[in-house]
Amino acid sequence: MSDIPRYRRVLLKASGEALMGDQGFGIDVSVVDRIAADIAEARKMGVEVGVVIGGGNIFRGVAVASKGGDRVTGDHMGMLATVINSLALRTSLVKLGVDAVVLSAIAMPELCESFSQRQATAYIDQGKVVIFAGGTGNPFFTTDSAAALRAAEIGADALFKGTQVDGVYSADPKKDPTATRYEQISHQDVLREGLAVMDTAAIALARENNIPIIVYSIHEKGGFGAILRGQGRSTLVADL
C-alpha cells in the first residue's frame, strides 16, 4: 500500500464515550493522548484535520428530556460538555507539538475562539488541527449533525466516524453475534435500513454534499492513519 494518504482534508468525529476508557464517567487522559497521537500521525502524513467530539462521557441533553426536563436546557448542557472534551484534546495535541485550536459554536472567549467558517478554513489552511466545540450551537441537533455540517463547511474529502466497533453492521455486534458487517454501503441504504451509523440528518447532509463516511474503531491504535493509507479495517459509506 502507498504511504500517500487517500484524503487531503478530513473531519474526524469521535464519540464522547470513547474518552472514558474503562472509567464510568469523565475523561481518561491516556485515551485522549492516544487519539491525539493518531491525529498527529495524520498531520505528519500531510493530512489536514478537523475534529468534532461528542459529550456523552459527561452529559447528554436527551437524558434530561427523557425524565421530563427541558430539552433545550439539556442540549445546552451537552454542548458545554463538548467544550470540556475539546479543551482536553487540544491539551493532548499541544503536548505532542501539534498546533491546535478550539472553535466553539457558543461564544466563550475566555476559553476559546468563536466559530466562523472563514476562520476555521484559514486555520486548517495554515496546518492547524481545528477542534469544533459546542455542536452546531443549536438544540435538537446532535454532534453527528455538527460533524457533517463542519465537514461540508471546510470542504472535507471524507468524514471519519470513530466508534466502539470496527465498521457498520446490520445490528449491534455486541448484542447480536449473527450481525453482518458491511465493507461498503451507500448513504441511501444506511437511511433506508435505519442502520445506527450516524443520525439521519448527518447522513443526509453528507450525501447531499458527496462526502464519504468512513466508520472505524477509535479504540484501534494507529487505525486512523492506517485507513488514510488505504489499510486498516473500516466500512465506507459512499454513493457510487
Which of 65-69, 87-91, 140-144, 161-165 has maximum average pLDDT? 87-91
> Which CATH number covers residue 134?
3.40.1160.10
Per-residue model confidence (pLDDT) at position 61: 67
- Percent of the chain, pLDDT > 70? 97
Mean pLDDT of the chain: 93
pLDDT, position 172: 85
Q: What is the pLDDT of residue 60?
A: 74
Task: Say whether pLDDT at 49 is over 70.
Answer: yes
pLDDT at 197: 86
In a domain, 3, yes or no: no
Q: What confidence tens digit (pLDDT) does each residue in 188-213 have?
A: 999 999 898 899 999 999 999 999 99
Over the stretch 92-127, which tens digit does the pLDDT of each residue have? 999 999 999 999 999 999 999 999 999 999 999 999
Instruction: Provide the domain count of the chain.
Output: 1
Which SS3 state, helix, strand or coil, does residue 120 take?
helix
pLDDT at 23 (0 to 100): 86
pLDDT digits (tens, 9 = 90+) for 122-161: 999 999 999 999 999 999 999 999 999 999 999 999 999 9
pLDDT tier for residue 175 given thresholds of 50, 70 and 90: confident
DSSP 8-state symbol, 23: S
pLDDT band at 2 (very low <50, low <70, confident <90, very high): low
Examine residue 205 and state whether it is found in any structural domain, yes or no. Answer: yes
Sheet with 48-53: strands ordered across: 113-114, 100-104, 129-133, 48-53, 9-14, 158-163, 213-217, 235-237, 184-185
User: Does residue 223 carry a pLDDT above 60?
Assistant: yes
Q: What percent of the chain has pLDDT over 90?
A: 79
pLDDT at 21: 86
Instruction: Kindly tell me if the per-residue pLDDT of 89 is higher than 80.
Output: yes
Residues 6+ apart with CB under 8 A from 26: 19, 20, 57, 58
The pLDDT of residue 59 is 83
Half-sphere exposure of 103 (CA within 13 A, CB side): 22
Q: Establish if 2 belongs to a structural domain.
A: no
Domain of residue 182: give its range: 9-237
Region 11-33: mean pLDDT is 92
Calculate mean pLDDT across residues 22-28: 89
**Which three three-digit cell numbers place residue 162?**
470513530
| pLDDT at residue number 69 | 77
pLDDT (0 to 100) of residue 62? 65
- Nearest CA to 206 among 194, 214, 196? 214
